[in-house]
Structure 1
């Protein structure tokens, strides 16, 4: 009887899934004043199904077949508009806002047709927009935004389970993230403090409307970044009725609720709980992570001119060691030897108020974010023995930002500024072995507390020329803080930028950007003290990190659904922090778990990253979506001999090919194949690592920095496959998917691990020829494994 249950259930679903239809409601309005636009023509993109807005700008579509759709809108005196992609189901009415931009109608101008491939005046190059369909069904991503972004041109990834975003040869600490205009600290659970990364994303994709990814040409109102800006915009709650959505994935259970609170107020709220620790225990991993997260949004439209949004996001993470493994392998023992227990929580909460005027609108953002990080490790993982690592830290920021966006006499002007109060505290204890000529074992033990005021101001002016064929944009920004005299001077962080876009025809475009960008060093670096309590990096005249960018590209749009771009880029870094201990630029660090930047540095690092990207996107036979991107990138920095050598992110070749096929009857098939060039790595210093005193200090080997990044891992490649099936019933919908990461189980041989030789009881063996040393050996380090996932999403 049990054997018949699953086939019977599938048959029942197949018969019950009748052709239920969905409804789309929305509002069309002038983007600069929020005034409604009556008599606007709206159609389902790619069809002849149409509607027209009423006197209040409202429109409705009924009887729409469920699936992912876009809307196209046209109105006299306004640019044509194509909306982001959204999903229509019969379980709820979908609400879509369509902002329209005024334009001057002139004769003999090049007519640029509306396109789903958007770009702004400020950033005509190096910007990609991700729709919700692409995020939801990306093979191998398991509805994780970080993993979806890793498939974009210029972004490197690994076969490991980390979510680091490595953009055009820059480190994972060089990115900034915004949610509905509010800055959030990071995108991932178990984030590396001072950097980013982590194994699992925090963002609930059920809230996401679309994502703009900037790999260059950052607008002036977004600062403190060197490699990318990620702007995420969320949907609003359903104003008609309460909607429930539940999702079970590979590692967690998520519950989402949204609906109306009053006539003018809607809400979204979600919570997620992981069961990843059970999976890791089952497959024998030496660490067991548990994570929880929450997200909410409440939006009130007081009237046509005023709206207020409250939003928040947070996570609680804990990773413990799987010390119950019987007869651990060398790989398992290696990780258990050095990895600490980690407990971390973070949140960001804020309010965004928007006021519309006749030709402009104001945006006020008030927010607070906080991170707490605890790590500890007992010698030999025995709680009766002393601690070898005892680390606690907190980061807190209170932020305010004001922006005004205006369109006056053909000019688009964005201007504003803001301020922050930040506080950083830490209590740090760790035994370290300093790898200098005079090898010495010592303890790092200090407490630190710093607070500072930060500020920024910006302005950017853009305008169309030559009958809208030429767009020019000029911006300026400055940042500063009270940490030191150098950083408080706004002239030291002047950040100009210039963009241009030229429409040669309605299909060919030339795009260009150049700018100088700054990023503040991490709080872990600013707050580092020696054992005497001295802020050594402040005394070393620590500076903002600077990077000069030049990007140029050509774009060809074959039709409304096909796009081909070629972009070349060059980034030059200076004033990058360089470690005093090992003379290595921090540009090479931050891609591992733990804490990044808590050491003595000098602002003397110089580096560069350059290359080109090719990006093709097309829709074939109205059923097949094809995305292909190739990036050639070189990432280098100067060593202590003033010569350029490869950085840790010098992958050289990045290739991603994604195929999505609509099989009909709500079946979808997706496949993604990626190729990543080998990463540089540094060989072990076997002589220093074998010293018992050195090994016992950290239970890891020491790298030979005189041969930094002289070796390289083998190239990596991976195939991810996903199948989706959706069922639509009278009042609810059911989505079932199977996602297979690394379908042919490719395993990359990475930099080897170093471990001690042990006896049958797991005791380290001493070198009989030298009692001051252990016997050590290198162990093959394989990364990557086949990982199948079954997911279920229910909405009603």
Structure 2
């Protein structure tokens, strides 16, 4: 059971929450709702579009630039309907209108290509951005409100995405995204069209996850998440892609936000530079407060160590007089934590109790892009940006007898400068072409070593140099008729480091059925370079060191997805997808072994072995069901079930389960909102998740005692599986709309049943016993936000 002190703190938070709700009173409040309407294919603003708030007489018509403004909108949740002659109508649900901040929305309309007497399925809210990117299958759209809504998400984009079909995240201490049995290293993170390094605090070089997300969800705009067979705009990834955007700041009114919770103390500001200008700024800063949270008796999951971190996100929009706009954007952060070895301090997943571990990370991205419309159908976006990441790690053994395996030094730096040009051309309502090219100048500096009892510290990755990555794509969309749409394209990349080249085809078909249904089919060949540091791992040969991974090729993935979906009149939607993924050219060891790069990412760190060749394979296949009712009529529901199998072959040619092959995962989420005390609202959200346990290789206890270190049964790689993962989360939210400002409180009770989910098993070399490490137990997460 969790400590008595934590019980008392939890009851106190719950009592405070209830009392706040009971004593608060409100009165009718109003707010302004405005935004823009654009042509989905050309991206140009549309004039004379009628925008109406559903069920009211409030509405507006867009101006010559596609902008609209609706005043005196009652706070709460509203739906919008947009219509224009010659375009498919669009409806947006669940728009949150708050007293402390103007509501700003962007609407996309798709031009009609014919008149049909039957109802044709038009992409819903979760698929509109994906449709713009010409995705056919396995895509979901989300915004900042989605990242706040679900219980257990901690205001984290990645943890929110773990609720989607095909996604598995069974590590309570990290937000790694496991898609359809793939390693989390197969995920691409993209911000404002720029590929970025791991956007998480305490993340390792080459990794894609971490304990705390660096991207502040208060700045997120309409974004999309892809889990397979993604379109040609995205490359250098084999598993999936996050296509993140930053929302623009309010260009007519200055607004401020303050927030405090598990993720830290946050301050935000946005507004116009002047009353005469349409230029706007948006900036949010966050500083960690886990030390304060720990003092309340709440376990932050890192034992006695207290993490420290800070980050900033910003965006500046500068419209020009001639149909264009400059945008400056960026984000960055630092983090550090020190673990002191202590056998009693086993309440974290990050450190061996017999070692001291010191870790510090830095990450940043900054860019500028210029968008210009040559005419109503042709535009370009030119982007220049720089990204960088640094990881410094030191591990010192407290056991002199076993020092060879407990001393480690890492100082790694990776940064890039890139230029990207993307051209978009709408030929007609039926045909559209998007093409682009990106040049990356990659710089790197590594100085990594581990201590050997005979030779002292031996370098295994020491390099300082630069190389180039060239990428290009072309994506074509053709709408044969209102029902049948073809998305096809090609992506290519070239790595100058070892002259590797890949050319990849993408193909997708969507056929809309009568009565709001659709059939989908898509194929994609995808390739990904290895984590940059892995190319420079060294092998000791006599008195010299040789880089035995330098010639590693791209890992390849062939992904085939077929789907069926159905939308009902009562807002419910069903989607079923079946997929097969074949992975080829996977790095494995030259010697016969069970090791494969497909298993990297199960723990913390992303290192590769040396002496690798691209001769490994992998196979993933599965079936996914999504049942969803978007937020409307005061409630929402989401259920996802994924059944899958994930296998690989190392250089020994033997088929094994991957470490991520849990075989199934099921999520059930629901939420209800009530209007109380005038314009205030109370919300309750529930999440239940269960999944197949974590795969692991059994430890040979007898051999380990003899060797004084852990020895595994390598012939039984990942045959064992921990008991099933289960977690129940419950969240209470109270939102107060007062005159001129909004306050919001929530308490998120995670793992309410205090279920003992197993993280891993490890061999204790001092006691000669196998020990089990559990994940987080019951954990209350609180948050307060104010906007004015």
- Report what 2:219 is aligned to: 207
CA distance in 2, matches of 1:425, 1:161: 29
- If the length of structure 2 is used for normalisation, what is the TM-score? 0.90
* Displacement of 1:635: 0.7
What number of residue pairs does the alignment pair up? 753
Matched residue SS, 1:530: strand
Indicate conservation of the 8 Å contact 1:78/1:103, yes or no: yes
- Report what 1:599 is aligned to: 610
Matched residue SS, 1:140: coil
Matches within 5 A, 1:349-360: 349-358=366-375, 359-360=377-378
* Displacement of 1:297: 0.6
- Report what 2:4 is aligned to: none
* Displacement of 1:589: 1.4
CA distance in 2, matches of 1:329, 1:59: 56
Moved more, 61-70 or 348-357: 61-70
The reply on whether 1:545 has 2:563 as its aligned counterpart is no
Indicate conservation of the 8 Å contact 1:317/1:343, yes or no: yes
* Structure 2 gap segments, 5+ residues each: 1-11
- Report what 1:389 is aligned to: 408
* Displacement of 1:415: 0.9
- Report what 1:684 is aligned to: 699
Identify the match of residue 773 of structure 2 among 778, 781, 787. 781
Alpha carbons of structure 1 residues 449 and 96: separation in structure 2 relative to 1, 3 Å: same
Identify the match of residue 639 of structure 2 among 628, 639, 645. 628
Alpha carbons of structure 1 residues 432 and 223: separation in structure 2 relative to 1, 3 Å: farther
* Displacement of 1:376: 0.8
Indicate conservation of the 8 Å contact 1:605/1:637, yes or no: yes
Matches within 5 A, 1:597-746: 597=608, 599-618=610-629, 622-665=633-676, 666-686=681-701, 689-690=704-705, 695=709, 701-746=710-755
* Superimposed CA distance per residue, residues 211-244 of structure 1 (whole angstroms, 9 cap, x where no aligned partner): 2111113111111011111112222111122211
* Superimposed CA distance per residue, residues 110-143 of structure 1 (whole angstroms, 9 cap, x where no aligned partner): 5445732425272121111123322112101121
CA distance in 1, matches of 2:293, 2:705: 35
Alpha carbons of structure 1 residues 549 and 102: separation in structure 2 relative to 1, 3 Å: same
- Report what 1:226 is aligned to: 238
CA distance in 2, matches of 1:577, 1:339: 32
- Report what 2:185 is aligned to: 173
- If the length of structure 1 is used for normalisation, what is the TM-score? 0.89
* Superimposed CA distance per residue, residues 634-660 of structure 1 (whole angstroms, 9 cap, x where no aligned partner): 111014442321001101111000001
Alpha carbons of structure 1 residues 496 and 433: separation in structure 2 relative to 1, 3 Å: farther
Identify the match of residue 782 of structure 2 among 773, 787, 790. 790
CA distance in 1, matches of 2:349, 2:87: 62
* Structure 1 gap segments, 5+ residues each: 435-439, 696-700, 758-774
Indicate conservation of the 8 Å contact 1:411/1:463, yes or no: yes
- Report what 1:373 is aligned to: 391
Identify the match of residue 760 of structure 2 among 751, 770, 773. 751
CA distance in 1, matches of 2:632, 2:219: 31
* Displacement of 1:172: 0.6
Moved more, 157-166 or 144-153: 157-166
Moved more, 182-191 or 682-691: 682-691
- Report what 1:765 is aligned to: none
Alpha carbons of structure 1 residues 557 and 442: separation in structure 2 relative to 1, 3 Å: same
* Displacement of 1:200: 1.0
* Displacement of 1:605: 1.0
- Report what 2:564 is aligned to: 554
- Report what 2:491 is aligned to: 477
The reply on whether 1:93 has 2:102 as its aligned counterpart is yes
Moved more, 146-155 or 183-192: 183-192
CA distance in 1, matches of 2:446, 2:599: 24
* Displacement of 1:159: 4.9
* Displacement of 1:10: 4.9
- Report what 2:281 is aligned to: 267
CA distance in 1, matches of 2:43, 2:583: 42
* Displacement of 1:481: 1.1
- Report what 1:241 is aligned to: 253
Indicate conservation of the 8 Å contact 2:186/2:238, yes or no: yes
Matches within 5 A, 1:497-536: 497-531=506-540, 532-536=544-548
The reply on whether 1:294 has 2:308 as its aligned counterpart is no
* Displacement of 1:444: 4.0
* Superimposed CA distance per residue, residues 660-692 of structure 1 (whole angstroms, 9 cap, x where no aligned partner): 111223111100100111121012243554356
The reply on whether 1:417 has 2:437 as its aligned counterpart is yes
The reply on whether 1:405 has 2:421 as its aligned counterpart is no
The reply on whether 1:347 has 2:364 as its aligned counterpart is yes
Say what the alpha-carbon RMSD is for the aligned residues. Answer: 2.9
Matched residue SS, 1:134: helix
* Displacement of 1:389: 1.4
Matched residue SS, 1:72: strand
- Report what 1:426 is aligned to: 446
* Superimposed CA distance per residue, residues 478-512 of structure 1 (whole angstroms, 9 cap, x where no aligned partner): 11111113x1xx4xx11001000011214121001
Indicate conservation of the 8 Å contact 1:424/1:527, yes or no: no
Matched residue SS, 2:131: coil
* Displacement of 1:81: 2.6
Moved more, 442-451 or 783-792: 442-451
* Displacement of 1:85: 5.2
- Report what 1:771 is aligned to: none
CA distance in 2, matches of 1:160, 1:25: 39
Moved more, 451-460 or 636-645: 636-645
* Superimposed CA distance per residue, residues 713-737 of structure 1 (whole angstroms, 9 cap, x where no aligned partner): 1101101111111111111111011
- Report what 2:149 is aligned to: 137
Moved more, 74-83 or 341-350: 74-83
Indicate conservation of the 8 Å contact 2:41/2:432, yes or no: no
